[in-house]
Every structure is written in structure tokens, then in C-alpha cells.
Chains A and B, each alone.
Chain A
Amino acid sequence: MKRTGLLIVTVLLAMALVLAGCSKAEEPAAQAAPAEKTETAAAEPAAPVVDDKMGGVLVFGRSGDSVGLDPGRETDGESFYGSTAVFDTLVEFVPGQTAVKPALATSWEVSDDGLEYTFSLRKGVTFHDGTPFNAEAVVFSFERQFIEDHPYYAQGPWKYWGYMDMDNIVDSVVAVDDYTVKFMLKKVEAPFIANLAMDFASIVSPTAVEKYGDDFKNNPVGTGAFKFVSWAKDSQIVFERNDAYWDGPVYLDRLILKVIPDATSRWLALQKGEVDLIDFPSTEDIAAMKADPDVQVIQQAGLNVGYLALNTQKKPFDNKLVRQAMNYAIDNQAIIDGVYGEAGQVAKNPLPPTMWSYNDDIEAYEYSPEKAAALLAEAGYPDGFDMELWAMPVARPYNPNARKIAEIMQDQLKKVNINAEIVSYEWGTYLDKTDQGEHQAAMLGWTGDNGDPDNFLWVLLSEPAAIPPAGNIAMWKNAEFTELCSQAKQTADQDVRDRLYREAQEVFHEEAPWVPIAHSVVTIPAKNYVNDFVIYPTGKRVFKHVWLQD
């Protein structure tokens, strides 16, 4: 009896793990967020100008705890939620957008060969421990991440530095004088500047790192809007206002990040007023949230895209006309309505709409079985064809239910005599097989991290990315597209880059290597008295200018 009980416990727990291995839907890890308030349930009627925005405590109900608060060390979004409050970066994202603007650096210059970036630093800024922010601190913050004999490199390699390929980009960081820092690059890489706005590039207090050593992740000291106060693991992290903030005033007295893992529990806590703002609501609750008079629902298309990649190296998708026909034959709106609900937006480009250079002039392929049939006939498939349609087995941030989407597509394709057989593999295998281009047509997606178009177009659609293991699982090799993106990598001129990426999207549209499906929408429900909270497309949660109405 007793041993049976033990066996049951063990087996149940282990089963839970195995099931998770098969089908656990992940919380979007470094989920991307959107740019503008697109929806405010309770429109503030001529909001009275409140003189006194100052004061109050804001509690943010989020789905998981931070792992650590040293932004260089950590890799997960929940950790960055905490470190974003404490630290600043040299450049930062414009609120709600992917463009970058000066922050701890007041300006920067790029040398003609594109290999030297010189930053002028803001003067008079101090860390929370009273030590001055200067060029030395900047050099320290970066060198510890890649100079292997740096005293605080310990336990390297630093993962996020690696994820962003910084080893192949940055050669050295030097202090020219107290308030000037120069980055020497190994290659011309325009998206580099966007990387510096990311959390891993935060500037830390060297004195505090020396003082706390490994424990710095539990005692973060930066220049940010909030000072770290306390952290009860798995419960809450408390921050207080930095009165001396350079980009002030900071209105909140305190900011509390509270962990509530279950989405329904978070919504209940918001209704009760125990928290003022929540992360990752469940899609089914969004309609009720919009109907609640005390709650505003802030939404924005996320920095992600879910797509159906058509393998251009295999028949019949080696034919552009067939790929275009697929785009006409699939009704994205039906997929949004049937699967994403309130949490999705139709995609027409490979870039999400919050990304700079998003080409809104491109006209989406409308849903038209007639046009699809005509194109198929022209391509030599008047009677349609049989195909395999691959769907991943797990929910992803950009695609909550690939199999259900596959079924909807199957129905739609039947109308133009394309017989799609749905194929799925266990997740790890699925990734391996699509990397190798074994599929005819496969669903997949991407969540961007640094807010640069290069992070989508180069990684997912360029010729080099089509070499297995491929990020470009359409195996699409288009010289024109690749050349445009390559040029955009080589120039630091923002206007030129913008134009190049817009052209690249036109090539993509014409050649149709994918059927773009959707961008999932980031939703932040908040109490009405929370003001000036803006969703950042790159997934940051920023509270420095948020204020509460009494």
C-alpha cells in the first residue's frame, strides 16, 4: 500500500514531465510586445490635467519570477523585467517603437568605414550606490562579458552576448576620455546599435559588482529609474523611486513585481485590485476584460510572425505561381477568427507592423480561390496536387495552435483541389527536420529580439540562412533579396536602410516564399487609473514614466 502510494507519486510527477515534453505550451520567453495603445476600453474623457502625478505604489502581476537581476548574465524576459527598472543602456528604444534614441549616451558617431562607433556619455549621472557613471563603467560593463581574463568574466561565456553574436561583431571597447567611449567592430554590422538598447547591454556599477561578486544578481546597482529594495523569491521584487534619475521625474514611490503563475488567478487579482496591471492574460478572458468598466486593455501587435514556409527547392513550390496561388487560397482572417481570437492580427509581410521599415504599401494577397485556381492552371496544375502540410505539435508565442490552423488551411485548400495531408512530429524532431528542409510546406515562426529588421529578414529569408541547419526553412535563395538585406547591414544611414528593407519586402511579396499567417498581439490589461504605460515591441516592461490617478 505504502510503496504503491510512492510509486503513484513518482509516476504522476514523471508523467507530468513527459507530457510537458510532448505538448507543454510555453510562456513566451522573451516575448515581444507592441508599439502603441491600440485599444483603451475606457477612453479617458478629456483627462483632467492632474498636477500631482507623483506618488503611489504600482503592483505588476506577472507570470514568473526573475532568475537573476544582472542583465548581462540572464537570458529570460522575466529577469529583464526586473533589471530594466534598475539599469539603463547607452541607447534605448523609443517608447512603443523599435527605433533607438540616446539614453546614457547623448550622441554617437559612426566612422566612414563603419567599424568605429564613438559615444559621448551623459555627464552628472550617478549609480544608486553614489559612484559616478563614466566611460570606465561602460568599458567594465562590456568587457566583463567577452574578455576572458577579465576578473568578472567568471562563469562565462556570457549567453546573451553569444546569442546576439557579439563575439563576431565587437573587437574592443575603449575609454577615450572620461565621457567618451569607442567600440571597435570586427565587421560592418549596422544592427549593432539596436543590440546596445537591449538589456544585456545595460551599464552596471563596477563598484557594486566588485563588492557583491556573484551575488550582484541579487543586489543590482545601476543608474535606472528605480532602486532595488528587496526580493522574496517566487513572490515579489520591490523597487523604489530614484529621485536623482536623469530622465525623471519618476512618479511611482514604489514598483512591485508580483509573481502569479496562473493566468486566471492574475485576472482575478486584477479584478480585486491586488495588482494594477497584469501580463499574459489568457485569450479567452480578453473579451471580459474589455467589458469591465474599471479596466483598460492595452494591446499591440507583437514583435513576431507566424508563417507557413513553402519549400522552394521542392515541387510544386519551386514554382512562384504555385506559391502565389497558396497565398490566394488561404484565408488568414478565418485563421485569426478561429484560432487567435483577440490575440492575433493578420500578417502580410515577414516583418511585424511595429518594426521600423514595415512596408504598409504592400497590398496583401486577398482571399480568392478563383485567382488561386487560375494561377494553378497557369502553372500547369489545373487539377491541383497532393501535398504534406507540416504543423508543429506545441503552442508557440506566435502560433497558439498550429494543428488547428492546419485543419482550417486543409479545408480552404480543398476548394482549389489541393489535398493537404497534415503531418506533425515531436517538437525537437520537427525543428531538426525543418532545419534540413525535409518538408514540402511547414509552419513555423519567429520572435524578434533586438527590434532590427535584420533580425527577421536576414535570419529567416537570406541565402546564407538557407544552408542547413536553416533559419530560412523556405530554402529560398533569392539573390536580389539577399543583396538588399546585405547592403542594409553595411550602412549605418537609417534612411538608406529603411528604403532597402522596404524594397526587400516587395521582393518577398512577389516571390511569396511564405504564406505569412499572423502576428500575435501582446495584451496588457490594467486598471483605469494607470496612466502612460506603453507596450515596448521588444518585450521590455518599462514603468519609469507611469503614474497613477488618485
Chain B
Amino acid sequence: MLKHILKRLGLLIPTLFGVVTLVFFMIALAPGDPARVMLGERANAAQIEQIRQELGLDKPLIQQYGLYLSRVVRLDLGESITSGQKIKDEISERFPATIELAIWAMLFASIVGIILGVTSARKRNSWVDYTTMGGALVGVSMPVFWLGLVLIMIFSVWLDLLPTGGRMNVRYYFEPITNFYIIDGMILWITEGTPKYLVSAFQHLILPTIALGTIPLAIIARTTRSSMLEVLQQDYIKTARSAGIRERRVVYRYALRNALLPVVTVIGLQFGLLLSGAILTETVFSWPGIGKWIYVAIGARDYPAVQGGIIFISTFFVLINLVVDILYSVINPRIRMQ
């Protein structure tokens, strides 16, 4: 088992090297001199030269690449052009917000997705099945940005039930403790005796969770359904049924456990992809996480920040995959045997 993990960890290195190289060259080859574009109409020759030096653009491309690689190896992602702060710090400041949203979205997508998937499989070809799978098709093809705005329009503006964006009512002058607002809300409930922070944090989470979770939900529901259908055909299920075990128990105790294996992989993959969906969701819902930060960096042509952001997200994605792999072998002993 340990050997398996070590081998997977070893494979990370070439993968990440590829990512860094790809990101570096795609940005280096993006059209236009970044210095010229950043300064726009008001540029003079001296200012362009200054920015080119700051960005290291005055050096040959291969040398820039070498420098960049050597810095990344030392975990130094450089400094943001707009803020002058270390990109590492910028990311760690914002990552809790993204993770909080991603976890809730994933919980939502997994729980609802699995329930819908199982129900469809059990009631195959019934109206329940058709509605769920039809809904899943719509869900998977829904543009996140549009969905977010529609949710705000309906639930915030028309029905006046939920806030339009942000993480907390600004008039509470809330000072974060852990930066995971649900946890902070619980702490403050204990220390200050009022649940209002927790309630507000929760209310602010609902719509972005739905917006971000809809696509993974649809994919998880579909995967669960097809996996369930396959498992329900197996001989041991027939055996269990003929032994007179209650259907509910057959489905949830015997079939679901085995059907979940491919679903776990899909959930892992979706979790990684969620981070890119977060760019749009965070922007619509003014959610102060990494996605919104990258969106702003792209608009400001803050090249080091964009590079750093992409490398961070890619690394995170690779690590999630590793965790999924390991989890998979925990759930499925057959993998460990190989």
C-alpha cells in the first residue's frame, strides 16, 4: 500500500513539470507585449522598459523559462504585478473561501446526486427516471454564469429570501477567525451567544452552492444510475433477492456499496473541475475566493498572478486525484491486490 502511494507520488513530478511548462509557454506566447498592453494609451518608452524589466521580459524566452522553473521548484510563485504581494500569500488568503464553497457544493452534489441516481435506477423507465435524467441533461449543459444570475433574480430579488452575494452581511462588521465562515459562525455562537453570523454565513452559501454544484450533481446522478443498473443485474443481487432480503436492504446495503466505486472516481474528478467552475460562480456571487482573484488577474493582465493561480489549481487537482486513487484502493481491495 505504501509502495503504491509512493509510486503515485513519484508520478506527480513529471505531471507537474508538464503543467508548469505548458502554463509558462501559453502565457509567454499570448499575443502582444504584456508591458505595452498593461500601460495602454499612456505608455512612454521608459515606463515600458521598467515594466519589461520587472517582468523579466528583457531576457531571452529560454532564460525566462529557466528562471521561472527554478523559482517554482523553490515554491516561489513570484509577486503579483498589481498588488506587489507574494502570490503565495494572495492565494493562501483566499483559498479558505474557495474550499468552503467547494466542499459545500460537492456535498450537495454528491448527496443529492446519489439519491437521484439510485432512485432512477430502481424505478428505471418510470416517469421519475425520465424526469431525473432529463433534468440531469439540462443541468450538465447549463452555463454556470447564467444559472447564478437566474438564481439571484428569483431567490434574492423576486422572492427576497436570500442575499445576492458575498459571504456575510456587511452590516455585521464581522472579523473572520478561521476564514471558514460556517466554523467562525459556530465559534461566535458560543463566544458571543448569537447565531446571527452562522445564519448569515449559511444563507450566503445556499445559492452559490447550488450554482456550483449543479453540473457535478448531474454527472454524479447519471454515473450512479448507470453503475447501479449494472450492479443490480449481478448474480449476487439476484441471490440476495431470492433469499428474501428486503428490497430496500438489497439496494442500499449490497448494491450501492459496489455501485459507488466509479462514483467515487467521478466525485474526485468533479472536485478538481469545480475549481475552474469556481471562477464563474465566485464572480457572479462576489465570493472572495481564488476563482474571483484569477478572474480579476486576467482582466488586469497580471501575468505572474495568472500563472501562479493556474499552477496552484492544477497542483491541487493532481493531489485530489491522488487522494481519490488512494481512497479507491481502500474501498476496493481488488486494486490493492494487483
B-binding residues in A (CB < 8 A)? 1-3, 5-6, 8-18, 20-22, 24, 26-27, 57, 59, 64-65, 67-68, 76, 155, 162-163, 229-230, 232-236, 238, 256, 258-262, 264-265, 268-269, 271-272, 274, 396, 426-429, 431-432, 444-447, 469, 471
Contacts and interface: CB of A to CB of B under 8 A. Distances in A.
Contacts of A2: 269, 321
A24 B299 contact: yes
A233 B42 CA distance: 29
Given A21-B32, A262-B284, A427-B32, A9 B317 contact: yes
Residue in B19, B149, B286, B293 whose Cβ sees the most chain A Cβ within 10 Å: B286
Given A12-B276, A431-B41, A268 B26 contact: no
B272 A258 contact: no
A471 B165 CA distance: 42
Interface string B58-85: 0000000000000000000000001110
Nearest to A468: B45
B34 to A, nearest CB: 8
B167 A17 contact: no
A300 B30 CA distance: 37
Interface of B: 15, 19, 22-23, 26-27, 30-34, 36-37, 40-45, 47, 82-84, 93-94, 149, 152-153, 156-157, 160, 163-168, 170-171, 173, 175-176, 269, 272-273, 275-276, 279, 283-286, 288-289, 292-296, 298-299, 301, 306, 309-310, 313-314, 317-318, 321
B299 A14 contact: no
Contacts of A269: 164-165
Given A6-B318, A10-B310, A238-B173, A18 B284 contact: no
Nearest to A214: B84
Contacts of A396: 40-41
Contacts of B310: 10, 13-14, 17
A67 B41 contact: no
Contacts of A445: 41
A265 B284 contact: yes
A6 B272 contact: yes
Contact of B165 (A11, A233, A265): A265
Contact of A235 (B47, B288, B306): B288
Nearest to B16: A6
Given A14-B26, A17-B27, A234 B36 contact: no
Given A9-B276, A233-B288, A431-B43, A256 B170 contact: yes
A265 B149 contact: yes
B107 to A, nearest CB: 21
A431 B299 contact: no
Contacts of B19: 6, 10
Contacts of B176: 232
Nearest to B167: A235
B30 A17 contact: yes
Contacts of A230: 173, 175
A6 B317 contact: yes
A401 B321 CA distance: 43
Contacts of B298: 16-17, 20, 24
A18 B33 CA distance: 12
Q: Which of A2, A68, A269 has the most CB of B within 10 A?
A: A2
A17 B306 contact: yes
B82 to A, nearest CB: 5
A21 B15 contact: no
A238 B175 CA distance: 11
Nearest to A445: B41
Contacts of A57: 171
Nearest to B32: A428
A428 B37 contact: yes
Contacts of A76: 82
Contacts, number: 184
A67 B26 contact: no
A234 B95 CA distance: 12
A508 B248 CA distance: 86
A234 B288 contact: yes
A5 B283 CA distance: 23
Contacts of A15: 26
Nearest to B26: A14
Given A6-B317, A258-B166, A428 B295 contact: no
Nearest to B324: A2
20 contacts: A2-B321, A6-B15, A13-B279, A14-B23, A14-B26, A17-B27, A17-B298, A59-B171, A163-B42, A230-B173, A235-B168, A260-B286, A265-B149, A265-B164, A268-B153, A272-B164, A274-B170, A427-B37, A428-B31, A469-B44
B173 A5 contact: no
Nearest to B276: A9
A76 B284 CA distance: 22
A469 B294 CA distance: 33
Given A14-B23, A233-B94, A3 B15 contact: yes
A484 to B, nearest CB: 23
A429 B283 contact: no
B82 A262 contact: no
A268 B286 contact: no
A261 B295 contact: yes
A162 B15 CA distance: 44
Contacts of B293: 234
Contact of A21 (B37, B93, B279): B37
B305 to A, nearest CB: 10
A359 B77 CA distance: 52
A262 B15 contact: no
Given A21-B301, A262-B283, A432-B36, A68 B164 contact: no
Given A10-B22, A234-B292, A272 B41 contact: no
B272 A9 contact: yes
Central interface residue in B32, B285, B321, by most chain A CB within 10 Å = B32
Contacts of B269: 1-2, 5
Contact of A261 (B15, B286, B301): B286
Contact of B36 (A24, A64, A155, A431): A431
Contact of A428 (B36, B283, B286, B318): B36
A153 to B, nearest CB: 15
Nearest to B19: A10
A543 to B, nearest CB: 15
A125 B149 CA distance: 47
Of all A-B residue pairs in the complex, the 3 with the closest CB atoms, nearest first, are: A234-B288, A428-B32, A14-B26
Contacts of B40: 396, 431
B12 to A, nearest CB: 11
A428 B43 CA distance: 11
Given A9-B313, A13-B279, A447-B41, 6 more contacts: A6-B318, A13-B276, A57-B171, A234-B289, A235-B286, A236-B170
A429 B34 CA distance: 11
B8 to A, nearest CB: 11
Contact of B301 (A20, A238, A469): A20
B32 A429 contact: yes
B276 A268 contact: no
Contacts of A14: 22-23, 26-27, 310
A259 B299 CA distance: 15
A229 B175 CA distance: 11
Contact of B286 (A22, A259, A429): A259
B176 to A, nearest CB: 7
